[in-house]
Each structure stands twice: as structure tokens, then as C-alpha cells.
């Protein structure tokens, strides 16, 4: 169960609630976030929750049977919307587009991508400065110096930044330069990192693991929320299979299922999902019609010269067409 406490609850009332939870055979876990103050009660004993709901200091109470509690739509029916400031909001009611290169490569590259985004009214740029690569000899990013350059150019043009964090020690150094921390597929069950991002209070885009189930993705999100951060987006980016005609299987089944199970925004990454630039547009449009709250994809001025993932990256002309068609598809979806 989830007990939502009244704001500014006195310590004695909170302690009484915790004692009453214990008295009915449950363990109370206190969670304080940017948005609210909660107690997550864990136990199996059947009892009338109204006995707790009427206690002084309790604002609301819900029985949640899911293993993940705080991110469950059984508790919070209204969808979460994440405000990045300057009118940039992610969540139901609008469609968010996030685009940029796989890796940040140079000042000139950032300027060209930013110009492309501004011309197409895209407010969020993706780009990696710390890159987890399968080969230790591949380009692994420009690091903090690259992030600072990335931040400076984007801020001057009103663009928000999403970039990947790979380990706990990077969070503090990156904090002032990012708007959204991305947790990549390889780190989707790095629980130390998830705990720390819960404490960081900055929005997080959490990608599904390479072979991860939806249950595992949701439990990973619960780690972040239970450590104090409600600003979470879930990202379907494809899962590994035996098929070798494309990079991954983009599981668009996940979109409506996640939307039914959780109040968090659901984003789709078609670039990693299929791994072939010729099909990114089709899969992006399919993601829109499946109900995604946004799409994050890779674009570069010359994909064939990109330092990483050029085979799945669209050029600016293709990106411009993709943006236009996704907005048309979203308008059509909303008219149904």
C-alpha cells in the first residue's frame, strides 16, 4: 500500500502512522520526493485500509498489489508530466522529440546539430560524452570537457540536453550541465547508479535493458522513485533476439503495456531499436501510433562520417522529414 502524507506533517503524527502500520503487520518505508511525502507499506496481511486512512496526517491511501508501488498507475491515475523549464514539458498531452548524434564529436558538430534543431523547433538534444562501447578501442566520448562545450552551445540556443551517465562518480560533475540524465541499456540494473540518481533530483530517462523484461524495467524505475526522484521517463530501445537482419527487436508492444501499468512517460528510441537508418522513419511513426509520449533518435550532418553508430543515424534532410511526419502522425492520433 501507499500512504500519502500531508505536506509539513509534524514528526509525532508521522511516527504514530508508522507505529499503526507496524501494528497491522506491515513494514513502513518512508519516501520523500520533489513532489510529495509517502510511506510505502510492505506486507501481506489483509485488513481494512480505512483504519489507516482516517489517521491524522494521512492525505490519501491506496492498496497497490504490484511489486513496483510508486510508479504504478494503480496508485497514481493521472499521468506524470516532467517540466524541464522554458515551456519544455514531457508527458501525455503533447509529443516530445529528442534528437542529436550518438556521440558529441566537436564544437562545429554541436553547432550544426543545434542549428538543425532550432530550424525545426526541436527543444531537446541528445548526445553522448561518456560512451559505453562494445570494443575498448572504439571512440568513447569527449568526457566532461565535451559536456561543458555541449552545454554552452545548447544553452545559448534554448536547447535542453539529455546525455548518458555511466557511473555514480560522474553525477556530481555532470549535474550543472544536463537537463536529463540518461541511463543506458547496459546500466539499467546498476542499482547503485539508480539509487544515486534518485537522490540527484534531476530528470532521468531510463532505457530498457538489452535482454530486460518490462517488469525489470519497472522495478528499476522504482529504485529511482523510492530514493526521492519522481521525474522518470521509460525508454523502449529494442531487445536482443536471435534475428540478425537488424540490430535489435523494437518491442512496440511495450508502449501500450507500459502506459497501462505506469503513470510515467514512455519514450521510444527507433535508432537503437532497429539499428538501420533506412527504417528509422517507419519505426518512429509506428511508435507515435502505438501511443509513445516521445521519440529519441540519432541525427548527424554526415552519418557516414560519424564517430559511432553512423549506420543507424539519419542525416538532416531525413531528420527534417521525420520530424514533420511524426508531428502529422501525432495530430492524426489525437484526432481519433
pLDDT of residue 136: 73
Residue 75 CA: distances (Å) to CA of 28, 80, 250, 253, 327? 17, 12, 29, 23, 31
Percent of the chain with pLDDT over 90: 90
**Global pTM?**
0.94
Q: Show the DSSP H helices in the chain as ranges.
A: 11-23, 50-53, 107-119, 143-156, 171-174, 191-200, 214-226, 254-261, 270-274, 280-290, 316-335
- Residue ranges in the chain whose pLDDT is less than 50: none
* Distance in Å from the first CA to the final CA of the chain: 36
pLDDT of residue 269: 98
Q: Classify residue 237 by burial, with Cβ atoms within 10 Å: 0-12, 13-18, 19+.
A: buried
d(CA 22, CA 279): 55
pLDDT of residue 44: 84
Q: Which residues pair with 61 in a beta bridge?
A: 3
Span 160-188, pLDDT tens digits = 999 999 999 999 999 999 999 999 999 99
Amino acid at each position: 500500500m501507499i500512504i500519502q502524507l500531508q505536506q509539513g506533517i509534524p514528526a509525532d503524527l508521522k511516527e504514530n502512522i508508522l507505529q499503526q502500520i507496524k501494528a497491522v503487520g506491515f513494514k513502513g518505508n518512508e519516501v520523500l520526493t520533489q513532489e510529495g511525502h509517502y510511506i510505502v507499506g510492505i506486507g501481506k496481511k489483509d485488513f481494512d485500509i480505512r483504519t489507516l486512512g482516517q489517521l491524522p496526517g494521512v492525505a490519501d491511501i491506496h492498496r497497490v498489489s504490484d511489486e513496483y508501488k510508486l510508479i504504478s498507475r494503480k496508485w497514481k491515475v493521472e499521468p506524470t508530466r516532467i517540466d524541464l523549464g522554458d515551456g519544455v514539458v514531457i508527458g501525455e498531452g503533447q509529443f516530445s522529440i529528442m534528437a542529436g548524434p550518438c556521440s558529441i564529436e566537436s564544437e562545429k558538430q554541436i553547432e550544426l546539430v543545434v542549428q538543425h534543431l532550432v530550424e525545426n523547433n526541436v527543444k531537446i538534444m541528445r548526445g553522448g560524452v561518456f560512451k559505453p562501447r562494445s570494443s575498448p578501442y572504439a571512440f568513447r566520448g569527449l568526457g566532461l570537457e565535451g559536456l561543458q562545450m555541449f552545454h554552452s552551445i545548447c544553452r545559448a540556443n534554448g536547447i535542453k540536453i539529455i546525455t548518458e551517465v555511466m557511473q555514480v562518480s560522474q553525477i556530481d560533475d555532470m549535474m550543472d550541465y544536463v537537463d536529463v540524465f540518461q541511463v543506458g541499456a547496459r546500466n539499467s540494473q546498476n542499482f547503485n547508479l539508480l539509487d544515486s540518481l534518485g537522490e540527484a533530483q534531476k530528470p532521468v530517462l531510463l532505457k530498457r535493458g538489452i535482454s530486460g523484461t518490462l517488469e525489470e524495467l519497472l522495478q528499476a524505475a522504482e529504485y529511482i522513485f523510492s530514493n526521492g526522484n519522481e521525474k522518470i521517463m521509460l525508454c523502449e530501445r529494442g531487445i536482443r533476439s536471435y534475428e540478425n537482419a537488424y540490430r535489435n527487436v523494437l518491442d512496440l508492444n511495450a508502449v501500450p503495456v507500459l502506459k497501462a501499468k505506469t503513470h510515467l512517460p514512455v519514450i521510444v528510441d527507433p535508432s537503437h531499436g532497429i539499428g538501420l537508418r533506412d527504417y528509422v522513419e517507419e519505426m518512429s511513426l509506428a511508435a507515435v501510433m502505438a501511443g509513445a509520449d516521445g521519440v529519441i533518435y540519432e541525427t548527424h550532418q554526415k552519418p557516414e562520417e560519424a564517430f559511432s553508430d553512423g549506420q543507424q543515424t539519419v542525416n538532416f534532410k531525413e531528420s527534417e522529414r521525420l520530424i514533420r511526419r511524426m508531428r502529422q502522425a501525432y495530430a492524426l492520433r489525437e484526432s481519433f
